Amino acid sequence: MDMALKTARVALVGNPNSGKTALFNALTGAHQKVANYAGVTVERKEGLIRAASGRTMSVLDLPGTYSLRARSPDEEVTRDAVLGRLAGETPPDVVVCVADATNLRLVLRLILELRAVGRPMVLALNMYDIAQRQGLRIDLETLSAELGVPIITTVATRKRGIEDLIAAVEAKVEAAAVEGENRWSSPDSAALRHAAREAERIMKACVRPPERPDTLTGKIDSVLLHPVAGMAILFVLLFVMFQAVFSWAAPLMDGIEGAIGWIGGLVAALIPDQGGGGLIQSLIVDGIISGVGSVLVFLPQILILFLFIIALEDFGYMARAAFLMDKIMGGAGLHGRAFIPLLSSFACAIPGIMAARVIDSRRDRLTTILVAPLMTCSARIPVYTLIIAAFIPSRTVWGVVNLQGLVMFGLYAAGIVSALIVSLLIRKVFWRGAVEPFMMELPTYRLPDPKSVAFNLWLRAKIFINRAGRIILPLVILLWVLATFPYPPENATLPAIDYSFAGMIGRALEPIFAPIGFNWQMVIALIPGMAAREVAVAALGTTYAIADAENATGLLASTLSAQWSLATALSFLAWYIFAPQCVATLGVVKRETNSTKWTWIMIGYMFGLAYLASFVTYHVAVALGGG
Amino acid sequence: MSSAAIGQGVPLDGRGAHLIITVKEDARPLVRSPARVSLDLTDTIKLSQARRGDRGVIVQVGGHCHHKEHEVELERRLLELGFVEGAEVELLHEGLFGRDPIALKVDDMRVALRRREAASLIIRRVAA
């Protein structure tokens, strides 16, 4: 009775948009773990099923695919998991193939392929309620006989058929002795044609076309994919999304900042600041709490952004957005799917880079990751507003436009345009002009299920906190060490940071930054500013000895406008468009690309661009009299 | 190819064509290589030339050039996404710029494609 002791392993396989993840959630509830597969950045979702019999089984939600002949890292994972080739994973005891009952043709071909693998299989005909509503008749007995697998009808969102599915899987586990031989090999086009014909034959034999086919999707598409109206709706939607990200998140962000300050104060009060205690207090309060806090503060924006993205994805709109934007993205050598990751990067590059996983092709994904940090993330806003308030007069130009607003707009535009140019160059230089095909299914529109949206949002939040936390923590400690040691001498006249390693590095780097108009205070501020871009504001406050600079921005602005020339200020803005002043982003890039080389390429090209842009800006401004 | 499929009027795919030819041998010149040749070329166009509202049946997937790896790969991907000889297609929507990409109905599902890739598909137009 070995089987009863061993936890049986179940793998969910299916086409994209088959409701596979909804079924996974229905099967496992909250008992799931999200991680990465060893060596690749493909999300590994595993959960536990507790059957009525008391048996527990572990379920793996494999990435959606149309074929075992993998074309992307995600699909390779699916193939290798099913074939039992995946490093560190045992092959599944039972494969559950999840099919959208209203869209069977392609999945039938996939089932034929899966059958060749020879693992015990169960077919879950999901969204069966929709099929019934459409009057779609499926002869389950014949279909089951044709495919040689048991069929269970399910409605994952309503948790219908789940018990039956678990029972069917259990039955397969118990009968596990009969395991066919693996006859699968990568099909060539003749084999694909043959399988497609076979699927067509089964379709004709078992499925009667719907009496009331879905016409809603076509009607919605005629508006949302209309060349002009569709574009207009997309831009209105984006506008609403950005309004939400920036206005709804503001009170929550203030709340988090307040809470972080309060916790910092509490810890400071608990740890005595005499002797060794002072150092520990400084490490925890100034280093860890404020460092991690400076990234956590973006959580509300990220969650609001993801709320929109998840809801629109579940509705079926994201594929349409990719369709509408494909020509524009394609002009820059990007995939239509790159649109969402780049959009997310306006809030924060970290979720943007993580969202690039939706792109099949490795090259397109890498290009998207490399340009995502050029999008103006919200951490740049405090820096931009400080410099603009200090140096750009608030007056009206061309009759209607506010000059400060115009500069802000220019900074955003510079980010977008440079991202498009850089991605074009990446394609020309690294990929030598190869173009990946753009082809994807436009799924049927479905009303998003609020519970599943909430669940996915919670999962995203957990992943962000987990990843960001793990990457940021060691880095903020490093930055704290640089900014704290060695201590200033007894009779110090300058701010303490000037005597620290950060100060030394800043002074050493000063000659490099002199040609772009930066003084040593600025260079020093750039070092703690690596923690997150908006930390530069506080760091400038430190180097100019202004306490609580983040709240006293007026004072800091007037100090800066007295100390810097206009050319220096503009040069600083240009620097912040491009420079990768965010260790958290670099850490995430390292993880997502799984490549030190590409991380350094990003660091190199972004600092290079920043220096070049600042140099040009500074000298043009000086020549025009702004020195 | 099953006789059922022929009976359903799903002709003219590369390999299936072979069967049809043998049936109608006297009516048409024999085509020696059945794999890559579409028979009836009247009113066939590349899918990339189709306009909004055009309907048709796919008669050929993949180009003739089978030496280039990416062409072979493209053909397989198209087949996997349901673009198979005999499938009915209808061009539903066109993008704003250069009428690209295009949204198609392929049998009973919807697929988006760039015209560049659609050039690998030949359809026989059917009156709407």
Write the DSSP assignment of A578-618 as a string of letters. H----HHHHHHHHHHHT-HHHHHHHHHHHHHHHHHHHHHHH
User: Average pLDDT, whole number, for chain B?
Assistant: 74
Instruction: Decide if A442 and B108 are in contact by the 8 Å CB cutoff.
Output: no
Which of A111, A208, A439, A440 is the best substitution to test chain B (most B C-beta atoms within 10 A)? A439
Place A178 in a pLDDT band, splitting at 50, 70 and 90. low
Higher pLDDT, A85 or B111: B111
Which chain B positions have a beta carbon within 8 Å of A442's beta carbon?
A: 103, 110-112
How would you classify the pairing of strands A32-36 and A43-50? antiparallel
Residue A275: HSE in the Cβ half-sphere, 13 Å Cα cutoff: 2
Integer Cα distance of A118 and B78 in angstroms: 26
Mean pLDDT of all residues in B34-56? 76
Which chain A positions have a beta carbon within 8 Å of B98's beta carbon?
A: 327
**Over the stretch A201-243, which tens digit does the pLDDT of each residue have?**
999 999 998 998 889 999 999 999 999 999 999 999 988 887 8
Smallest Cβ–Cβ distance between B77 and the set A71, A109, A434 belongs to: A71
Instruction: Decide if A105 and B108 are in contact by the 8 Å CB cutoff.
Output: yes
| pLDDT score recorded for residue A433 | 64
B80 CB near a chain A CB, below 8 Å? yes
**pLDDT score of B30 more than 70:** no
Mean pLDDT of all residues in A390-401? 83
**pLDDT score of A41 more than 80:** no
Q: Does a structural domain hold residue A605? A: yes
CA distance, residue B101 to nearest chain A CA (Å): 7
Query: Residue A33: is it exposed, middle or buried by C-beta count within 10 angstroms (0-12/13-18/19+)?
Result: exposed
Mean pLDDT of all residues in A10-33? 89
| pLDDT score recorded for residue A176 | 65
**Over the stretch A458-500, which tens digit does the pLDDT of each residue have?**
888 887 787 667 766 777 788 788 878 887 787 777 777 778 8
Q: Tell me the percentage of chain B whose pLDDT exceeds 70.
A: 63
CA distance, residue A41 to nearest chain B CA (Å): 23
CA distance, residue A586 to nearest chain B CA (Å): 33
Q: Tell me the percentage of chain B whose pLDDT exceeds 90.
A: 50
Mean pLDDT of all residues in A583-610? 91
Which chain A positions have a beta carbon within 8 Å of B70's beta carbon?
A: 434
Domain count within chain A:
2
* Closest by CA position to A157, among listed A26, A63, A62: A26
Q: Does a structural domain hold residue A403? A: no
Q: Quick one: residue B107, left, alpha or beta (phi over 0 = left, psi -120 to 50 = alpha)?
A: left
| pLDDT score recorded for residue A242 | 76
Which chain B positions have a beta carbon within 8 Å of A189's beta carbon?
A: 61-62, 72, 75-76, 79
**pLDDT score of B121 more than 80:** yes
B63 CB near a chain A CB, below 8 Å? no
**Over the stretch A256-314, which tens digit does the pLDDT of each residue have?**
888 888 888 888 888 876 666 777 887 888 778 877 777 777 788 878 888 988 899 89
Integer Cα distance of A321 and A325 in angstroms: 6
Place A548 in a pLDDT band, splitting at 50, 70 and 90. low
Place B122 in a pLDDT band, splitting at 50, 70 and 90. very high
Instruction: Decide if B114 and A197 are in contact by the 8 Å CB cutoff.
Output: no
Which residue type does A71 have? R
Q: Which domain holds residue A529?
A: 469-626
Integer Cα distance of A47 and A59 in angstroms: 5
Higher pLDDT, A529 or A577: A577
Smallest Cβ–Cβ distance between B95 and the set A187, A227, A437 belongs to: A227
* Closest by CA position to A576, among listed A540, A625, A541: A540
Q: Does a structural domain hold residue A236? A: no
| pLDDT score recorded for residue B3 | 38
Which chain A positions have a beta carbon within 8 Å of B10's beta carbon?
A: 200
Q: Does a structural domain hold residue A499? A: yes
**pLDDT score of A179 more than 70:** no
Integer Cα distance of A601 and A591 in angstroms: 14
Q: Does a structural domain hold residue A323? A: no
DSSP string, A509-543: HHHHHGGGT--HHHHHHHTGGGS-TTHHHHHHHHH
| pLDDT score recorded for residue A5 | 52
B113 CB near a chain A CB, below 8 Å? yes
Instruction: Decide if B81 and A439 are in contact by the 8 Å CB cutoff.
Output: yes
Domains of chain B, with CATH numbers?
39-126 (2.30.30.90)
Which of B76, B104, B115 is the best substitution to test chain A (most A C-beta atoms within 10 A)? B76
Domain endpoint, select from A184, A214, A244 = A214
**3-state class (DSSP) for residue A390:** helix
Smallest Cβ–Cβ distance between A319 and the set B74, B85, B112 belongs to: B112
B62 CB near a chain A CB, below 8 Å? yes
User: Average pLDDT, whole number, for chain A?
Assistant: 86
Contact predicate A526/A536, CB 8 Å: yes
**pLDDT score of B18 more than 50:** no
Place A36 in a pLDDT band, splitting at 50, 70 and 90. confident
Integer Cα distance of A500 and A58 in angstroms: 52
Q: Does a structural domain hold residue A378? A: no
Q: Does a structural domain hold residue A372? A: no
Integer Cα distance of B83 and B17 in angstroms: 17
Residues ≥6 apart with Cβ < 8 Å to B63: B71, B75, B120
With tokens 């090999």, the residue in question is A185
Q: The CATH number of the domain where A56 resides is what?
A: 3.40.50.300
**pLDDT score of B32 more than 50:** no
- Minimum CA–CA partner of B36 in chain A: A190
Tokens standing for A280?
A: 């520990």
Domain endpoint, select from A174, A189, A214 = A214
Residues ≥6 apart with Cβ < 8 Å to B10: A200, B16, B85, B86
| pLDDT score recorded for residue B24 | 37
Domain endpoint, select from A185, A214, A243 = A214
| pLDDT score recorded for residue B36 | 45
Tokens standing for A596?
A: 């030190």
* Closest by CA position to A106, among listed B79, B91, B72, B112: B79
**pLDDT score of A596 more than 50:** yes
How would you classify the pairing of strands A43-50 and A56-61? antiparallel
Q: Give me the interface pTM, i.e. the ipTM.
A: 0.80
- Minimum CA–CA partner of B72 in chain A: A189
CA distance, residue A583 to nearest chain B CA (Å): 38
DSSP string, chain B: --HHHHHTT----TTHHHHHHHHTTTTSPPPS-TTT--S--TTEEEGGG--TT-EEEEEEES-S--SSHHHHHHHHHHHHTT--TT-EEEEEEE-SSTT-SEEEEETTEEEEE-HHHHTTEEEEEE--
Q: Does a structural domain hold residue A85? A: yes
Among A71-85, A197-211, A543-557, where is mean pLDDT lowest?
A: A543-557
Contact predicate B79/A192, CB 8 Å: yes
- CB contacts < 8 A (A, B): 132
Place B41 in a pLDDT band, splitting at 50, 70 and 90. low
**pLDDT score of B82 more than 90:** yes
Integer Cα distance of A369 and A11 in angstroms: 30
Instruction: Decide if A69 and B80 are in contact by the 8 Å CB cutoff.
Output: yes
| pLDDT score recorded for residue A541 | 76
Instruction: Decide if B84 and A103 are in contact by the 8 Å CB cutoff.
Output: no
C-beta neighbour count of A511 within 10 angstroms: 10
Smallest Cβ–Cβ distance between B79 and the set A192, A209, A226 belongs to: A192
| pLDDT score recorded for residue B27 | 40
